[in-house]
Structure 1
Amino acid sequence: MGILPPGKTFVDAGFTILKKKYRKLPRNTDYSAYRHPRWWPTWLGIAVMWLAAQLPIRFQWWLGKMIGLVAWKLAKSRRHITETNIRLCFPELNKHQQDALVRNAFIANGIGVMELGIAWFRNPAKLTGITQVHGVEHLEKALEGGHGVLLLGGHYSTLDLGGSLVTEFIEADVMQRDHNNPLMNAVMTRARGRRYGTVLGAKDLRGLFKCLKQNHAVWYATDQDYGRKDIVFAPFFGIPAGSITATSRIVERSKCKVVPFSHFRREDKPGYDIYFQPALENFPTGDDLQDATRINAIIEQEIRKAPDQYLWMHRRFKTRPDKDDPGFYGRKRKKKG
């Protein structure tokens, strides 16, 4: 048995093994392709998710909290990333407040794991009674232009459930990044296909332009580190962050509107809030850095509504302006994470 790298736990090692194991397998949404015993552990996990999704929502939230606390204790690498992001983005908080935010972020994302089951295996219409939509008129006005709308979202802990809930109030398509596990990807894609009009791959620009040409609203997120290609370094919580320029190119070509969009879990009692902001005016400007700075500021503004409900476990500041700049997260990895 090999020795785990410093700072690693078996939880982190498991994520890495799964990523390597499934990287080159074909993507197929036909369940008949996953009958082999190699997929039985994944099927078992899916069955557990399905069963958990049938529980009362308050109990699901409690289970999600327990999942989050276990991850906070055991997933040391992810906790280190989260601690680093919180320290960088909230320097106004003291150490005790930062630590509390880290812990709460794991709890919020643990609840988000439970909400995946609701989004994938239950009818979100049953939750519309505890969901309030704010500003949907901004989306309706943007669609009057006839060139489609990019719903500028973010990686909040309510990612899948928030997206499923919004389709109870509007018609929308979605762009997604494949899950590392092909069977989980099949479940995710089929579930989203029942909620959204079209499920597009993250690189399917042809499909995206087709949807926009049909005057559709398309869920679209830019708030992760995608590497050094086609980016500028725009401030995000005051830190230069690699930010893609594709949004400006898409709007230039399609003439679509960009409507900021977010969704959060209520803190006091079970319920959800969905927010649509006014469409961006004078966008793009022709200055990629200015455009990316504006987008990052909007996402930051939404995150501040519920800072713990963001995916802080992602290495948002992985790519530095200069390749020789020291990284924020410790020693460099050989593979992308």
Structure 2
Amino acid sequence: MTSGNPQSFMRLRYTGQWLTIGFLWLLSRLPPQRAFSVCERAGRRLSPLLRRRQRIARHNLQVCFPEKTRQEREALLAANSRYVGRALAEIALAWFGGKKVEDIPCIIRGQHHLDEARAGNRPVILLGGHFLCLELIARLLGRNMDLAVIYKPIRKQPLLDQTMVQSRNSIPVETLSRYDLRAIIKTLKRGTPVWYAGDQDYGTRSSVFVPFMGVPAATVTGLTRLTALAQAQVVPIFFNVNDAGDGYEVTFKPALEGFPTGSDTRDAQWMNGIIEQGIRAKPEQYLWAHRRFKNRPPGEPSVYPRSIK
């Protein structure tokens, strides 16, 4: 499960991470549909205990869907809590599920768009968003294609980080740190599609403020940089739990024509617009508990109340 000296993770401060890993392993022993059901119920019932995350999600829904009534947003939040719980089962199965993952249905649409992009002898970046089923989708896609995923290392929880990376690599899905530009470019030029999600607030450095769901948001310009450096194509990818809840759907869209545009701002707007399409189609399955609007343009007040800063 871990590499290097295993004794380094045997200290008391790693107890919580070991317990988390043990819990995920136990979840992975359940049949997938049973694991999904158990975790969905837990997500719904335990969500009030995650007060700060619930407040962040509630406030994000308020600013992103001002046209909805309070009752509609609360219903959306309740549905989102189910998918947050389900994500635990999805992570467990992605990391430790073994061959039972092979039996989870996953319908792929628009495969020809990805095939055409790869046939063009240019690297391919898959542009997606932070939807809650991301971990399992990567595992399901990794069954039939080469894939690499860019991620932000979990530096405060190194045991969990290492477990995640090793579990992904065993699929194999290559895991690339967002801080290792050289490795990302090398992987792209080798011909492996690289999954990129630029819909989180990573600060104002290397970011521009453009609308995200109608609200100005610090948006990283990494997609523009990667596309230019690797001379890559960008293929949008959408994914979600199906309506029956017993499988998954993945849709590839045509490669973007004329990207990058030469303007960081226009590129960021384009990227956000694509991710918004997926959010509006399945808003209950998006990761709303992230402070997407943490940083503000100069002179603008905070989006979040002091209690959740």
Matched, 1:233 2:209: yes
> How many angstroms does 1:129 deviate by?
5.4
Q: Please name the residue that 1:83 is paired with.
A: 58
Per the alignment, in what secondary structure is the counterpart of residue 218 of structure 2?
Answer: strand
Q: Please name the residue that 1:19 is paired with.
A: none
Contact kept in structure 1, 2:57 and 2:288, CA below 8 Å: yes
Q: Please name the residue that 1:60 is paired with.
A: 35
Q: 2:304 aligns with which of 321, 326, 329?
A: 329
Aligned-partner Cα distance in 1 for 2:104–2:17: 33
1:311-326 equivalences under 5 Å are: 311-322=287-298, 324-326=299-301
Contact kept in structure 1, 2:150 and 2:175, CA below 8 Å: yes
Deviations 1:212-236 (A, max 9, x none): 1112201111000010101111111
Percent identity between the two aligned chains: 35
Contact kept in structure 2, 1:53 and 1:121, CA below 8 Å: yes
Kindly report the root-mean-square deviation, in angstroms, between the aligned alpha carbons of the 2 structures.
1.9
Consecutive unaligned residues of structure 2, counting only runs of 5 or more, are: none
Matched, 1:167 2:145: no
With the length of structure 1 as denominator, give the TM-score of the two structures: 0.86
Matched, 1:30 2:28: no
> How many angstroms does 1:178 deviate by?
1.4
Q: Please name the residue that 2:165 is paired with.
A: 189
Deviations 1:183-223 (A, max 9, x none): 11111010011124532111110001111111220111100
Matched, 1:178 2:188: no
> How many angstroms does 1:47 deviate by?
1.7
Per the alignment, in what secondary structure is the counterpart of residue 195 of structure 1?
Answer: coil
Per the alignment, in what secondary structure is the counterpart of residue 170 of structure 2?
Answer: helix
Moved over 3 A (4+): 28-31, 124-129
Contact kept in structure 2, 1:29 and 1:185, CA below 8 Å: no
Residues 74 and 304 of structure 1: CA distance in aligned 2, closer, same or farther (over 3 Å): same
> Which letter does structure 2 place at the counterpart of 1:107?
R
Deviations 1:8-43 (A, max 9, x none): xxxxxxxxxxxxxxxxxxxx7436132334434432
Matched, 1:275 2:260: no
Residues 210 and 332 of structure 1: CA distance in aligned 2, closer, same or farther (over 3 Å): farther
Aligned-partner Cα distance in 2 for 1:139–1:174: 16
Residues 312 and 29 of structure 1: CA distance in aligned 2, closer, same or farther (over 3 Å): farther
Q: Please name the residue that 1:288 is paired with.
A: 264
Q: Please name the residue that 1:18 is paired with.
A: none
Consecutive unaligned residues of structure 1, counting only runs of 5 or more, are: 1-27
Q: Please name the residue that 2:230 is paired with.
A: 254
Contact kept in structure 2, 1:262 and 1:274, CA below 8 Å: yes
Per the alignment, in what secondary structure is the counterpart of residue 79 of structure 2?
Answer: helix
Contact kept in structure 1, 2:56 and 2:289, CA below 8 Å: yes
> Which letter does structure 2 place at the counterpart of 1:89?
C
With the length of structure 2 as denominator, give the TM-score of the two structures: 0.93
Q: Please name the residue that 2:117 is paired with.
A: 142
> How many angstroms does 1:125 deviate by?
6.7
Q: Please name the residue that 1:94 is paired with.
A: 69
Aligned-partner Cα distance in 1 for 2:172–2:63: 36
Per the alignment, in what secondary structure is the counterpart of residue 280 of structure 1?
Answer: coil
